[in-house]
Structure 1
Amino acid sequence: MKNKHLFLFILLFVGLVFILSTTYTVLAEKDRRYYENTGEVVWEIDTKEKVVALTFDDGPHPKHTGEILDLLAKYNAKATFFVVGENIEKAPDILLRQYNEGHDIANHTYTHPIKTTIPKLEAELKKTNDLIYSITGHYPELFRPVEGQYTDEMIESVVKQGYKVVMWSWHLDTEDWKDPGVHRIVKTVLKGTEPGNVILFHDGGSNRSQTVKALEKILPELQKQGYKFVTITELLYMNNENEK
């Protein structure tokens, strides 16, 4: 009997940890299926074509983003960078390089606030928008919530501003911001990648040398498997074409 109670306790504890670890999915009353049907939020697309979207949050970083861009160029890969306004001001030349080399530039707020009000979020998005436009002559159309946390009110607000909200394939959060080790980052990606997936990396916020070293292994291996690396814009275009 004691063993049974212990098992139930462990089961409940694991369930609670899982719920807490996926907070962003329960802050909104409307579920993923609803937002995928409306097209307001994308996690990945359903396709048999071997394409995958590499996404990078929290940059640009003066050193590591440049290293990542060198690797992407080497393997003819395109990516999507969710940039933070404060970091743009520290590395405007890197942002311009990202744009000139054909990568998607997307909004990831100005100060990377974990929690904020809708009016403050709107102000942050506008400030970062204006910065991006002042450097590239282009306004971003994609937005990723900080830490993937969103509410229905947030989605409604950013969609009204013309954004598509971009998340990532749940099993392809590399958690590289935790510095889990190059091997673990590589294993997460190579073990889990399927056509149409969106992979989450970070190029800013801290030392991203593990991410760079992991990409040195990931890019050639996925390319060897026949994958093409596309931007979120390209992925969404393919999805729209598939639905016709």
Structure 2
Amino acid sequence: MKKDQYVSGRRTVLRGFTAVGLAALTGCAATGRASTPRSAPSSAGASAAPAAGPPAARALGPSAYRLRPIAGHAPQRAAPDKLKARHKPILRMDFEHGERAMVLTFDDGPDPRYTPHILRTLRKHDVRAMFFVCGEMAVDNKDLLREMADDGHLIGNHTWSHPQLNRMTRSRMRPEIERTCEVVHDATGEPPAWFRAPYGAWNRAVFRLGADLGMEPFAWTVDSLDWTTPGTRAVVSRVLGGAAPGVIVLNHDAGGNRAQSVAALRTYLPRLLDDGYRITVPRRRGL
């Protein structure tokens, strides 16, 4: 699929959320944009019961991140250590001695209709993964962020509303990233250490801003294309076909109907483990 079609399709999905009331974050003004949410089908075992409505997109004012505590009473948060900005994102891992290890990543969540099923499958196989969350989804689902952290998964920043950052000014880009840092920090007690640009749209300003906020830029090697809902078998085939040492796999746990993503994980994960792959998560610099 061409990039413009990818962008247009993903934007359409991410804008299809019902506006609901949100507890206001410090320094963040709320606005509502009404649309119709998608319900979860039952074909992959994900419950079709009504989920908590996805949060509304919100106008972002100047972020209070690192300047004052969200609750107003906790000690001021220390600024994260700035990193030297990279010139390109991490596309694959360089494990020692050619180890047969891979990284599974999930974007756009958390979504209470799908994310819990993915977490259960990962827990069943004692596997750690990375979740790149959008702030507008995370803000009303902090319990899922805490569950991820408690299970040893890494939580990365995927902006607030999934915009194409390389078409934005730095002043508009910054609150998109900082707000999500704020939500993750508030939910887990730790700021995110990893950042993924929506659509893989990187530029110098994105790299520098992520590094200023203490985050490494993390991309992918294999795109499962689950966001196109091609069928569970197609997702499984792409992941297994792309499996190799150091590979980073892109999946999604939100942003649309992710029943196929849930079902595919249940199939390909045990096969990867049976084939001798270790599913792991990265360390910081010096990976």
Pair in the same fold by TM > 0.5: yes
2:89 is aligned to 41
State the match for 2:178 in structure 1.
126
Amino acid at match of 2:94: D
TM-score norm. by structure 1 comes to 0.78
1:82 partner SS = strand
Distance 1:19 1:128, change over 3 A: closer
Q: Does 1:89 align with 2:134?
A: no
CA contact (8 A) 2:86 2:207 kept: no
Post-superposition Cα deviations, 1:58-114, rounded to whole Å, max 9, x if no partner, equal 000112000000000011110000000010123111111011110000100011113
Partner of 1:219: 269
**5+ long unaligned stretches in structure 2:** 8-84
Name 2:198's counterpart in structure 1.
Answer: 146
Counterpart of 2:50 in structure 1 is none
> Structure with the greater relative contact order (CA < 8 A, sep ≥ 6): 1 or 2?
1
Aligned position for 1:189: 239
Find the partner of 2:124 among 58, 64, 74.
Answer: 74
State how far apart, in whole Å, the 2-side matches of 1:78 and 1:104 are.
8
Q: Which residue of 2 aligns with 1:110?
A: 160
Displacement of 1:42 after TM fit? 0.6
Percentage of matched positions with identical amino acids = 33
Change (3 A) 1:188 1:226: same
How far did 1:119 drift?
Answer: 1.6
Q: Secondary structure at the match of 1:215?
A: helix
Quick one: which of 37, 50, 59 aligns to 2:109? 59
Q: How many residues align?
A: 206
Q: Following the alignment from structure 2 to structure 1, what is the Cα–Cα distance between the partners of residues 4 and 111? A: 30
SS of the residue 1:41 aligns to: coil
Unaligned 5+ runs, structure 1: 1-16, 24-36
Give the aligned partner of residue 150 of structure 2. Answer: 100
C-alpha distance in 1, partners of 2:3/2:161? 27
Q: Is the CA contact (8 Å cut-off) linking 2:87 and 2:207 kept in structure 1?
A: no
Distance in 2 separating the partners of 1:22 and 1:204:
16
Deviation at 1:189, TM superposition (A): 0.8
C-alpha contact (below 8 Å) 1:83/1:107 kept by paired residues: yes
Offset, 1:54: 0.3
Confirm or deny: 8 A CA contact 1:110 1:127 kept in the other structure: yes
How far 1:162 moved relative to its partner?
1.7
Q: What is the distance in 2 between the residues matched to 1:126 and 1:163?
A: 11
Which letter does structure 2 place at the counterpart of 1:51?
Answer: A
Across the aligned residues of Structure 1 and Structure 2, the Cα RMSD in angstroms comes to: 2.2
The match for 1:29 is: none
Task: Report the Cα offset of residue 46 of structure 1.
Answer: 3.2
What corresponds to 1:6 in structure 2? Answer: none
Asked if 1:156 corresponds to 2:175, the answer is: no
C-alpha distance in structure 2 between counterparts of 1:52 and 1:189, whole Å: 11
Alignment of structure 1 residues 16-27 onto 2, 5 Å? none
What do the CA deviations read for 1:193-239 (whole angstroms, capped 9, x no partner)?
A: 10111000000111100001101111110000111111133xx57xx
Q: Is the 8 A contact 2:87 2:204 kept in 1?
A: no
Name the stretch that deviates more: 107-116 or 68-77.
107-116
TM-score w.r.t. length of structure 2: 0.67
1:208 pairs with 2:245: no
Structure 2 CA distance for partners of 1:91 and 1:22, relative to 1, 3 Å: closer
Q: Which has the higher helix share?
A: 1
C-alpha displacement at 1:161, in angstroms? 2.3
- Rounded Cα–Cα distance in structure 2 between residues aligned with 1:86 and 1:218: 30
Structure 1 residue 116, shift from structure 2 partner: 2.7
Query: After TM superposition, what 4+ stretches of structure 1 lie above 2 angstroms from structure 2?
Result: 17-23, 37-41, 114-117
Q: Determine if the alignment matches structure 1 residue 175 to structure 2 residue 225.
A: yes
What is the alpha-carbon distance in structure 2 between the residues aligned to residue 147 and residue 38 of structure 1?
A: 18
Structure 1 residue 120: Cα displacement: 1.6
